Structure 1
Amino acid sequence: MVTEDFYCDQVLSGKTVVDRVRETENVLAYHHTKPFYPLHIVVIPKKHIPSLLHLEKKDDTLLLEMMGVIREVASQVQDEHGACKVITNMGDYQDSKHLHWHIVSGQPLQS
């Protein structure tokens, strides 16, 4: 399991260039760098938050902004592809300890 924070260390720092889908002052949505689905978009807060379980009351505005971006991107994906899933992972399922959501469409790719 990866213990670093890929999103802070690589994406938000600019070390890894990403194909941006949508960006606000506090949220970034981009195409996954190593997709597990034919269409695989990741949505992250620009502030480090380890997971959904670590959100605090003071993060409510950020969470609403994130959900707005997720809703907008998921709506576009559904319109273009007919369906999508919105997923977040926690605990051992979460490789990078930075809150993130996956918006995916299609059958999982074979590894």
Structure 2
Amino acid sequence: MTNDFYCEEVLSGNTEVDKVRETDNVLAYHHTKPFYPVHIVAIPKKHISSLITLDESDHPLLLELMLVIKEIAGSITEKHGSCKIITNLGKYQDSKHLHWHIVSGEPLKQKQ
């Protein structure tokens, strides 16, 4: 697989992450290079390239992923007052593995 940080680095164990929540099929962790003060990424452990490539057989996995996202988003909203849940498609999607960002706060200035 090419351009899949999640399979190649996170799920393989090559890059250590600070886990927030893990199930048999889903992993959520603090972003390794956060763009927001609170920045968590949630991914399926199965490789799915994006939201628009989901198969009908992936529906139970998508439901499990959304339940994890809901739990984390609720916790963040309770603590910080609000959050955003973001996924990207096409040229906006750097890593070709379905993933959701759960974020709160104003975007951080990135080092150039």
Q: Which whole-Å CA distance do the structure 2 matches of 1:81 and 1:21 have between them? A: 16
Cα deviations across residues 10-69 of structure 1 (Å, max 9, x unaligned)? 000000000000000000000000000000000000000000000000000000000000
Q: Which whole-Å CA distance do the structure 2 matches of 1:68 and 1:10 have between them? A: 24
SS class of match (2:13):
coil
Matched residue count: 109
Indicate whether 1:34 and 2:30 are aligned.
no
Q: Which whole-Å CA distance do the structure 1 matches of 2:33 and 2:109 have between them? A: 12
Matches within 5 A, 1:1-111: 4-111=3-110
Q: Which whole-Å CA distance do the structure 1 matches of 2:67 and 2:58 have between them? A: 14
- TM-score, normalised relative to structure 1: 0.97
Q: Which whole-Å CA distance do the structure 1 matches of 2:76 and 2:27 have between them? A: 16
Output the amino acid matched with 1:37: Y
Runs of 4+ in 1 over 2 A off after TM superposition: none
Q: What is the RMSD computed on CA atoms of the aligned residues?
A: 0.6
Q: List runs of 5+ in structure 1 lacking aligned partners.
A: none
Q: Which whole-Å CA distance do the structure 2 matches of 1:91 and 1:26 have between them? A: 24
Among all aligned residue pairs of Structure 1 and Structure 2, give the percentage whose two residues are the same amino acid: 69
Q: List runs of 5+ in structure 2 lacking aligned partners.
A: none
SS class of match (1:80):
helix
Output the amino acid matched with 1:63: L
